[in-house]
Amino acid sequence: MLSRRLARRTAKPAPGLVQAGLHPLLARIYCGRGVTDPGELKLSLQELLPPAELQGAAEAAVLLADAIAADKRLLIVGDFDADGATSTALGITALRALGAGHVDYLVPNRFEYGYGLTPEIVALAAGRQPDLIITVDNGISSMEGVAAARALGIATLVTDHHLAGRELPAADVIVNPNQPGCAFPSKAMAGVGVIFYVMLALRAELRARGWFASQSLPEPNLAGCLDLVALGTVADVVPLDRNNRILVAAGLQRIRSGRARPGIAALLEVAGREAASVVASDLGFAVGPRLNAAGRLDDMSVGIECLIAPSAGSARDYAGRLQQLNQERRQIERGMQQEALSLLENLPLQAEDGSPPAAIALYEPRWHQGVIGILASRVKDRLHRPTIVFADAEPGGDELKGSARSINGIHIRDVLDAVATRNPGLVTRFGGHAMAAGLSLPKAHYPAFAEAFITEVARHGRDLDLEAVLESDGELAADEFDLTLAETLRFGGPWGQHFPEPLFDGRFRVVQQRLVGERHLKLVLGLSGGEVVDAIAFNVDLDVWPDPAQEWVEAAYRLDVNEFRGRRSLQLVIEQLQPVE
């Protein structure tokens, strides 16, 4: 467990939140996340930002409505992660419900074609004779691919959320809240949120044309797609601003009420999660990885077919395959982590204080290209440094693919942009956003790139504290260790990126401790009032725990609800555990 400096949020409950009837603890937690007005907690769909504010959405609606009316062939080109899969599934589902007669999809195999709408993908797509290509969760950097489509007479609609570069593709329409000139207030939407907004605008356009009446077609309720929006938004780890919380809350409500599509219900089932009590973290840590496993090791079409499966039976078949792939991914990842730890032991440390360098770059020829993103995230969490992990684009080939993960305060795409600008020709291509990015470069350039990357991060983070910090909402009073309060907190979100789940800290007397599984420490902790509470710490350092001589601990923890054989009880999930000398 990485030792992090504890920092307590100092916010006090806003009077308006308490007067609105919120528990004082929950009011304090919301204030610590910048919410002081009760109105900001209204998460009904009526509070959603209107599609008219999203630049390009109206034009995209006209383009799509004309194509549907002319019975043109539509081809969705998606990305190979969970956001791309949910975006693709949503586009297929919504367009068919809105009356499109010819809708197909194509997701590049990452090992053959790489990311985005490349000329090679356009050539592959041309075999299906599309009249219009719709990108989802990609395309904002696809200058050559859009040009190739235009040369073939294929129209293009780019829907994306990644940051735009200096040049935009010459698409017929671009919808991206992060494109220059777009004043849409929520810049944090995932790709699935963007295509959902486009479908809302398209429905309004078709309604205005009298399309549904003329075709004797029932107007679809697009709220039925919100389970996809919730899954893609959480899995892509985008900041949960208010608009995203509205989308995620609505999707979670559909799932809890038993209205999830068969594919999401099947994925929850194989992950051992109860749909009736699902929260955002279940989508992020249980469903998302299983869906992502398809794109990492195989073909994301397996995941997309699961999400659009018409029946529970067919969905379970696809979910079973995804479960197998996820198990394979875990096994590969374990081996890669061991090799990465060996490489980290030989990193040159900074002479002044013996700390790691400002950034980490790792490469091992045997590493699996589909798992480097997860490994980068693990290393980043371990060392609290921006990290890029590379693998061969092809076995024994001359090109490397890299996956980058960053920490708060270091905008990783801006770092890569600066590296590429200062070192022309060093990087072949790159793209991404603040916390995650991808890139390609010649294998021969790796040593120079690693040095330039570390130098640039040091420059960007000159005034940044690179010590890992764990933010806490403070101590709990003895009477706040309560099952009802834990349930209130559990459903008080949705919690996620930039709107973190409540975390507390305190000193406890150790009543009991024992290992469960291979590396998990089960504890009974004594409270100040004499009561005791169950707790669990996952993946503890076996050189430290269990320690029968340890009588007191400092813990940073979450209140959680443990369900076992139909019995619900309070449990602390410990994020950080320190012996008290």
Question: What pLDDT, in 10s, does the model give residues 403-447?
Answer: 999 998 899 999 999 999 999 999 998 888 888 899 999 999 999
Q: What one-letter code names the amino acid at 287?
A: V
In the chain, the amino acid numbered 458 is A
Where is 513: in which H helix or E strand? strand 504-516
Which residue reads 């980490």 in tokens? 360
Structure tokens at 341: 């730890």
pLDDT greater than 60 at residue 1: no
Cis peptide before 365 (omega within 30 of 0): no
Band (pLDDT 50/70/90 cuts) for residue 110 is low
Among 222-226, 334-338, 357-361, 558-562, top mean pLDDT goes to 222-226
Q: Is the pLDDT of residue 224 over 60?
A: yes
Max Cα separation, the chain?
A: 78
* Least confident window among 8-17, 122-131, 256-265: 8-17
Nearest to 436 by CA among 501, 492, 372: 372
Give the pLDDT band of residue 253 (cuts 50, 70, 90): very high
Closest to 51 in 3D by CA, of 160, 157, 175: 175
Q: What is the mean pLDDT of the chain?
A: 93
113, pLDDT greater than 70: no
Q: Report the distance separating Cα 229 and Cα 231, nearest Å.
A: 6
Calpha distance 13→28 (Å, rounded): 4
- Contacting residues for 69 by C-beta, under 8 A, at least 6 apart: 209, 211
Average pLDDT over residues 90-96: 98
Partners of 438 in the β-ladder: 403, 431
Query: Residue for token digits 């671009």?
Result: 174
Helical axes 288-297 vs 262-270, angle rounded to 10°:
90
Q: Does the structure show a pLDDT above 90 at 189?
A: yes
Residue 298: predicted pLDDT: 82
Average pLDDT of the residues in 137-153: 96
Which pLDDT band, with edges at 50, 70 and 90, does 360 fall under? Answer: very high
State the pLDDT at residue 530: 85
DSSP state of 224: G
Residue 30 gets which letter from DSSP? H
Q: Which of 437, 434, 432, 350 has its CA nearest to residue 390?
A: 437
Average pLDDT over residues 117-130: 94
Q: What is the pLDDT of residue 556?
A: 96
Domains of the chain: 49-323 (3.90.1640.30), 347-460 (3.10.310.30), 471-579 (2.40.50.460)
pTM of the model: 0.91
Q: Are 124 and 112 in contact (CB under 8 A)?
A: no
pLDDT confidence of residue 5: 84
